[in-house]
Amino acid sequence: MSIKIVCQNKKAYADYFIDETIEAGIVLTGTEVKSLRQGKANLKDSYVIIKDNEAWLLNCHISPYSHGNIFNHDPLRTRKLLLHKKEIERLRGKIQQQGYTLIPLKIYFKGPYVKVEVALARGRKKYEKRDIIKKREAQREIERALKNK
């Protein structure tokens, strides 16, 4: 089965510790799917909430379809995620007790279906981000030095 990535939330890897990822389906309208096939989506500042035993994706921007008409979709509408009831209950427990949050990492096509990779994540502090950047740069310097030998 072929996988085609539409968009990724690269900022999430810098701002959060990713502990676990879950694949979820998403409920979309026809023009939203066509717009995703054109690659017009943005996950920046989007997040997932659990309300009434259902998971919802908020602030995900999917641009209106270019050849659409008056029935085009609202770009920032709240979209339902398709997860099993047991998964939703487990995620709800972790969010309430341990200070986790749910963030989408990427939207992709898996065969004919649109999927969202959702991460169970904890926020990073500013000093932790700086430490990670320093370690990454030090590792690059070491690799350069070894490569030049």
Give the number of other CB atoms < 10 A from CB of residue 102: 22
Phi, psi of 33, rounded to the nearest 5 degrees = -65, -45
- The average pLDDT across 24-43 equals 89
Contact indicator for 101, 94 with CB cutoff of 8 Å:
no
Q: How confident is the model at residue 16 (pLDDT cuts 50, 70, 90)?
A: confident
Q: What is the mean pLDDT of the chain?
A: 88
Q: What is the pLDDT of residue 84?
A: 95
Query: Tell me: the pLDDT tens digits for 80-103?
Result: 999 999 999 999 999 988 888 999
- Does residue 54 surpass a pLDDT of 90? yes
Q: What is the pLDDT of residue 2?
A: 80
Give the number of other CB atoms < 10 A from CB of residue 18: 13
The hierarchical CATH code for the domain 3-124 is 2.40.280.10
For 35-64, give one letter per residue: b (16+ CB within 10 A) or e.
Answer: bbeeebbbbeebbbebeeeebbbeebebbe
Q: How confident is the model at residue 51 (pLDDT cuts 50, 70, 90)?
A: very high
